[in-house]
Amino acid sequence: MATERIGIIGGTGWLGGGLAQALLDTGFIPADQLIVSNRSGNHPLANTGARVLADNQALVEASDVVILSVRPEQFKALNIQAAGKRVISLMAGVTSQAISAATGASVIVRAMPNAAIEIRQSFTPWHCAQTLGSVEVAFIQGLLECVGTASRVPTEDGIDYLSALSGTGPAFPALLMTALTRQAVIAGIPEDVARQAAKGVVVSASQLLANHDPQGMIDALVAYKGVTAAGLQSLIEAGFEEQIGRAVQAGADIARKGM
Ligand SMILES: NC(=O)c1ccc[n+]([C@@H]2O[C@H](COP(=O)([O-])OP(=O)(O)OC[C@H]3O[C@@H](n4cnc5c(N)ncnc54)[C@H](OP(=O)(O)O)[C@@H]3O)[C@@H](O)[C@H]2O)c1
């Protein structure tokens, strides 16, 4: 159990709230070491024994580690001084330099979870430009692993790129699922069956990939020279991989430009 007092600004939102609950449920910290804030200072998290505040500066002063989980456009209004505190930002498109300039903090971690925090299956890459000791690295890894898996990446640009990849969470699978459903309906399949079939592929069958190498899976299916091979070949020849590359770069460009 960590001994640090953790404050989450925006700790009642989608990501912040999910993280706060996970820190308590996994026993990473006891409730009396957790403070969350939002603009009203009210939230059911208060029933767990955690403190819920509306005063962000009071949260900073009572915390050893400050997690920023407001939306990027809400960041400027926070107006906090966090010199001497360790800051972990979950915000997309806000640079470490901007966070340091606005808060006075010198140790900034940028972590990029995704919406699967809700089911504790987020992959969360993180970056810190400062040199960290092994205890500090273990603390950050442990904190982020309360909501899934995590890995340190060597550059901040890597966080901007990964914001558009793993940070998008269920977005690409959702697009694939709706495309498969709509196209099946156009092909004459009843809508309820089309939905089940698409879900069966995107949500159920894809779980095989947890323990199978994806390229090996593609090679094996192409080798059958059958129905699946024809579909895969059609996508590959249409430039599927290049299109995916362009899609992720489009998102990464937004993250790099800042929000
Ligand atoms: N959602 C995702 O899939 C995802 C993925 C990767 C990264 N992120 C990043 O995660 C961050 C949070 O996103 P989210 O989806 O969790 O947003 P959200 O659900 O809107 O949460 C934002 C939280 O900030 C609080 N808040 C707003 N202004 C505040 C202020 N001045 N002082 C204190 N609290 C304030 C809000 O509470 P009140 O409105 O009650 O004040 C709310 O609890 C964003 O920066 C985003 O870039 C999100």
- Indicate which CATH number applies to the domain containing 251: 1.10.3730.10
Residue 23, φ and ψ in degrees, nearest 5: -60, -35
- Predicted pLDDT of residue 151: 98
Q: Are residues 138 and 175 in the same domain?
A: no
d(CA 140, CA 121) in angstroms, rounded, equals 17
Q: Are residues 149 and 192 in the same domain?
A: no
- Provide the domain count of the chain: 2
105 within some domain: yes
Cβ-contact 61, 7 below 8 angstroms: no
d(CA 161, CA 116) in angstroms, rounded, equals 18
Q: Is 92 in the pocket of ligand 1 (CB under 6 A)?
A: yes
Q: Is 69 in the pocket of ligand 1 (CB under 6 A)?
A: yes
Amino acid at 212: H
164 within some domain: no
Residue 36 structure tokens = 């969350």
Cβ-contact 255, 93 below 8 angstroms: yes
Name the average pLDDT for the chain. 96
Q: Are residues 137 and 207 in the same domain?
A: no
114 within some domain: yes
As a whole-number percent, the residues of the chain with pLDDT over 70 amount to 100
Q: Is 56 in the pocket of ligand 1 (CB under 6 A)?
A: yes
**Per mean pLDDT, which range of 173-177, 219-223, 241-245 is the poorest?**
219-223
Q: Are residues 219 and 94 in the same domain?
A: no
Q: Are residues 43 and 138 in the same domain?
A: yes
218 within some domain: yes
Distance 202 CA to ligand 1 centre (A): 28
Amino acid at 81: Q
Q: Is the pLDDT of residue 14 over 80?
A: yes
* CATH number, position 103: 3.40.50.720
Q: Are residues 29 and 145 in the same domain?
A: yes
110 within some domain: yes
Q: Are residues 138 and 176 in the same domain?
A: no
pLDDT in tens, 188-231: 999 999 999 999 999 999 999 999 999 999 999 999 889 999 99
Cβ-contact 194, 181 below 8 angstroms: yes
Domain boundary pick from 125, 154, 183:
154
Q: Is 72 in the pocket of ligand 1 (CB under 6 A)?
A: yes
Distances, alpha carbon 95 to alpha carbons 75, 92, 129, 157, in Å: 12, 8, 11, 10
Q: Are residues 59 and 149 in the same domain?
A: yes
Q: Is 9 in the pocket of ligand 1 (CB under 6 A)?
A: yes
**Host domain of residue 44:** 6-154
Q: Are residues 219 and 150 in the same domain?
A: no
140 within some domain: yes
Give the residue whose CA is nearest to atom 15 of ligand 1: 14
Q: Are residues 95 and 178 in the same domain?
A: no
Give the residue whose CA is nearest to atom 13 of ligand 1: 71
Which are the contacts of 91, defined by CB distance < 8 A and separation ≥ 6? 68, 69, 70, 71, 72, 75, 110
258 pLDDT tier (thresholds 50, 70, 90): confident
Distance 69 CA to ligand 1 centre (A): 5
d(CA 173, CA 25) in angstroms, rounded, equals 28
Q: How far is CA 92 from the centre of its chain?
A: 9
Task: Please report the atom of ligand 1 found closest to the CA of residue 15.
Answer: 16
Q: Are residues 142 and 215 in the same domain?
A: no
Q: Are residues 132 and 176 in the same domain?
A: no
Q: Is 15 in the pocket of ligand 1 (CB under 6 A)?
A: yes
Q: Is 173 in the pocket of ligand 1 (CB under 6 A)?
A: no
Residue 6 structure tokens = 């953790």
160 within some domain: no
Distance 139 CA to ligand 1 centre (A): 23
pLDDT in tens, 129-168: 999 999 999 999 999 999 999 999 999 999 999 999 999 9
- Predicted pLDDT of residue 68: 98
The helix or strand, by DSSP H or E, that contains position 229, with its residue range, turns out to be helix 227-237
**DSSP three-state, residue 36:** strand
d(CA 88, CA 96) in angstroms, rounded, equals 10
Mutational test site, ligand 1, from 38, 45, 51, 56, max ligand atoms within 8 Å of CB? 38
Domain boundary pick from 119, 154, 189:
154
Q: Is the pLDDT of residue 259 over 90?
A: no
2 pLDDT tier (thresholds 50, 70, 90): confident
